[in-house]
Chain A
Amino acid sequence: MNEGPARPPRWVGMVLIPLVNLTLALAIAGLIILSIGENPLTALRFLLFGAFGYIEGLGYTLYYTTNFVFTGLAVAVAFRAKLFNIGGEGQAYIGGLGVGLVALAFDDTLPLVLMVPLAIAAAAAFGAAWAYIPAYLQARRGSHIVITTIMFNFIAAALMVYLLVNVLIKPGQMSPESREFAPSAWLPFMHEALGWFGIAMARSPLNLSFLWALVCCVLVWAFIWHTRWGYEIRTVGGNEAAAVYAGIRPTRVIILAMCVSGALAGFVGVNEILGVHHRLLLNFTAGYGFTGIAVALMGRNHPVGILLASLLFGALYQGGAELAFEIPAITRDLVVVIQGLVILFSGALEYMFRPQLERLFTRRGAALPVEG
């Protein structure tokens, strides 16, 4: 027979608890909609139709999903080492700068097959570099990573304004944007790519970086669970003292985890700059870095969970836009509210229901697990 404390079945933690948290967040959002005099069920119907009801809407949903996969994975990799990377926003911004610089330098010389890997490498390098400094300061000088990454978000914003207003701006233009890249350097849209195979698809900003997001899910899974580095990251995250006794150097692991995290966040730049806007501009990150926190919490820091949570938030973003169009009293800020509620319930209040729920599904008669 099974000795030791009984554990609840795995699906309780993996499926049931996230669903309970999501239901709670949506229920409260529904109450808010009710209180401003609209019908939450009608709103939900518009939202679902807007997100999945037709091909163009689905394209937008998957385009947002792409960004959330990158930022969600970024937060999750850092979480695995017990680090809270709030700096996804800044790392994505600087990652986009890397993509933009590469594209501006080589857009009419390099063919696309070379441009794309180069841009991906630049996004990773710039994003990782922006995460490296807070990581170094945490690992070597003991300054708290939460505060430093917040500060680096603001520093990134100021840097980008400076660069776009003074350096990279297209001459003779008022708005702070770079020139448009040559079309040969644009990452193909999904409707174009499908067109090569004779499949017709409505136009949307969805582009091939969606495929790279899927690849990243697999790569992160392999990295965290099937490499030595991933093992070290999980060990340091689980118990730093034990990691030291096992001969793992936490300073190196912290820096590695944060650089991988920053690189993943930087890939938002590939989607936004090379895939959609085709020029460098301000504020293209639009809060995606912060949404990554909700995505990682909801997805339990696992690539599969993150993919599903990203799809959820992508649908909320796209459906929310559609909803705002149908019911003007409900703007896309509803999505921000839901996002906040999800972070609240699945993050800050994660221990509110979990012990009770787990106890409910733990085999009767067995010793109850004590929450620490």
Chain B
Amino acid sequence: MEEAFLLSVLTLDATLRVATPLVLASLAGLFAERSGIVDIGLEGKMLGSAFAAAAVAAVSGSAWLGLVAGIGVSIALALLHGFACITHRGNHVVSGVAINILTAGLTVMVGIAWFSRGGQTPALPDGARFTAIVWPGAQALAGIPVFGTLYKELLSGHNILVYVAFLAVPLTWWVVYRTRFGLRLRAVGEHPEAVDSAGISVAGLRYRAMICCGVLCGIAGAYLSTAQNAGFGRDMTAGQGYIALAALIFGKWRPVPAMLACLLFGFLDAIAARLQGVELPMIGAIPVQFIQALPYVLTVVLLAGFIGKAVAPRAIGEPYVKER
């Protein structure tokens, strides 16, 4: 019993670690999509940031400088997306695909030119990474049953970006639902004409939303290369940007449900690693690939309208042309 409890707490702990970049990226997508910009490019922004963060951290020895560089690159890519979609009324999906492909090639090419390690950045020492923060009294309280274990394993012992990610959820909620900017953001995604007729710049709002998106994707990328791992590797995002997008849709473009979807997808990932080759009673061994494909299958089923209805912001993907 005690052991089973510890095992499930450890699985939840792994869930938090896996879900962190997903939460950050899907909040990033939330800002973009709520303002009416389709963002397939979450993946590319994360990848670009992961590379920049690892490269700068490796050279400077500071994880924080790496984080700043990662956010910078991610914002630049977000603004490029904005430039194409907002200023030049380009196709949002095409632009997102371009950014994903561009960063996939560029990160490796520049990585080889700078570090000559086949696209990887040098392994980061602990000083140049975001390492685990042990909360006060974690060891002392560990002896208390249930609470002690939860405190030590689940709450304590993560790096700072994990806490940032989960604090970003209420913050995003507050910004989107309780501030003037948030109200306008939601309006511009639903009915840009109304926002425009109130004398507010549609393009300005959408650009600001893209900057928010860039910041969050930047943190997500830096987490991958300087916190979860110790360095950048080719294509290290491995589809997480798309999973985050799926989680955003699964959460119906709202912050808290999107976070819950990220936790669900993270949990599936954590459990897939543990279930490898395990025979379950009654069911037998579940193929790992089945659990890995589940987030995508669930998203398709949701989109098909079989579990609730996912309704996108109304003006999403449509370029806004001011009437003359």
Judged by a CB distance under 8 angstroms, whether B246 is at the interface is: yes
B303 touches A348 (CB 8 A): no
Interface residues of A in 110-154 (CB under 8 A from B): 133-134, 137, 141-144, 146-148, 150-152, 154
- Per the CB 8 Å criterion, the residue count for chain B at the interface is 48
Judged by a CB distance under 8 angstroms, whether A36 is at the interface is: yes
B293 touches A335 (CB 8 A): no
Interface residues of B in 29-87 (CB under 8 A from A): 38, 40, 83-85
A147 touches B299 (CB 8 A): yes
A155 touches B108 (CB 8 A): no
Q: Which B residues are in CB contact (< 8 Å) with A137?
A: 300, 303-304
Task: Choose one: A159, A329, A343; the contact of B98 (CB below 8 Å).
Answer: A343
Given contacts A137-B304, A158-B293, contact A348 B106 (CB under 8 A): no
Which of A58-66, A202-210, A245-253, A349-357 is the interface stretch?
A349-357
Q: Which A residues are in CB contact (< 8 Å) with B287?
A: 162, 166
Which of the four size classes fits the interface of chain A?
35 or more
B297 touches A155 (CB 8 A): yes
A158 touches B290 (CB 8 A): yes
Given contacts A137-B303, A147-B303, A340-B101, contact A161 B289 (CB under 8 A): yes
B113 touches A158 (CB 8 A): no
Task: Choose one: B84, B100, B106, B249; the contact of A147 (CB below 8 Å).
Answer: B249
A143 touches B304 (CB 8 A): yes
Q: Which A residues are in CB contact (< 8 Å) with B102?
A: 336-337, 340-341, 343-344
Q: Which A residues are in CB contact (< 8 Å) with B38?
A: 146
Q: Which B residues are in CB contact (< 8 Å) with A348?
A: 84-85, 88, 90-91, 94-95, 98
Interface residues of A in 193-229 (CB under 8 A from B): none
Report the Cα distance A240→B30, complex, angstroms: 29
- Closest-CB distance, B52 to chain A (whole angstroms): 15
Judged by a CB distance under 8 angstroms, whether A4 is at the interface is: no
Q: Which B residues are in CB contact (< 8 Å) with A333?
A: 104-106, 108-109, 112, 119
Q: Which A residues are in CB contact (< 8 Å) with B207?
A: none
A84 touches B93 (CB 8 A): yes
Q: Which A residues are in CB contact (< 8 Å) with B89?
A: 351
Judged by a CB distance under 8 angstroms, whether A334 is at the interface is: yes
- Closest-CB distance, A194 to chain B (whole angstroms): 35
Report the Cα distance A352→B85, complex, angstroms: 11
- Closest-CB distance, A300 to chain B (whole angstroms): 14
* Of listed B94, B112, B246, B249, residue having the most chain A CB within 10 A: B94
* Of listed B40, B98, B287, B300, residue having the most chain A CB within 10 A: B98
A290 touches B97 (CB 8 A): yes
Q: Which B residues are in CB contact (< 8 Å) with A159?
A: 289, 293
A337 touches B90 (CB 8 A): no
Report the Cα distance A84→B38, complex, angstroms: 13
Report the Cα distance A238→B168, complex, angstroms: 43
B93 touches A151 (CB 8 A): no
Judged by a CB distance under 8 angstroms, whether A40 is at the interface is: no
Judged by a CB distance under 8 angstroms, whether B267 is at the interface is: no
Report the Cα distance A349→B319, complex, angstroms: 13
Judged by a CB distance under 8 angstroms, whether B125 is at the interface is: no
Task: Choose one: A143, A158, A336; the contact of B105 (CB below 8 Å).
Answer: A336
Report the Cα distance A148→B94, complex, angstroms: 16
- Closest-CB distance, A255 to chain B (whole angstroms): 15
6 closest Cβ pairs, A-B complex: A340-B102, A336-B105, A348-B95, A143-B303, A347-B94, A36-B113
Can you list 10 contacts pairing A with B, beta carbon distance less than 8 Å?
A144-B303, A147-B303, A151-B242, A155-B296, A162-B287, A293-B94, A337-B106, A339-B105, A343-B98, A348-B95
